[in-house]
Amino acid sequence: MSERSSIAALGDQDTVFAFKAVGVDAYAVANEAEGREKLRLLARNYDIIFITEQLAEALPDLLARYKTRAFPAVIPVPSSKGSTGYGKRSIKADVEKAIGTDILQIEENGND
């Protein structure tokens, strides 16, 4: 791809299949290593990448690198198996860092 595309989804097959149904470019991966490589490739071509929480939790170093860049926005989402709470905790940490206080008041265990 020579131009950046809009949106991609990365994760297990059941989850990304749902994204594909609404027109998002979907990429299923079987494990962490495959997910790491695919995320690096997608980051070159997409503005927004939805990634399952389970995969995101396995790739904290890579996600930290993308947080410092304007693009791509890598957004953790629950998988078809449900939420681990990682997405909420991540947003909470980002908001706290940005404004210096916890305005979301999300418990550390992922419940709100």
pLDDT above 70 for 75: yes
pLDDT at 104: 64
Kindly report the number of other CB atoms within 10 A of residue 23's CB atom. 9
* Mean pLDDT for the chain overall: 84
pLDDT at 45: 93
* Token pair in block for residue 103: 């305005």
pTM of the model: 0.79
The full DSSP string for the chain is --S-EEEEEEE-HHHHHHHHHTT-EEEE-SSHHHHHHHHHHHHTTEEEEEEEHHHHHH-HHHHHHHHTSSSPEEEEE-BTTB--SHHHHHHHHHHHHHHSS-SS---TTS--
Q: Place 109 in a pLDDT band, splitting at 50, 70 and 90.
A: very low
Q: Place 110 in a pLDDT band, splitting at 50, 70 and 90.
A: very low
pLDDT at 13: 93
Mean pLDDT of all residues in 40-48: 95
pLDDT at 81: 85
pLDDT at 36: 97
Identify the structural domains of the chain with CATH numbers, from first to last: 5-82 (3.40.50.10580)
Q: Which residues neighbour 43 within 8 Å (Cβ) at sequence distance 6 or greater?
A: 49, 66, 72, 74
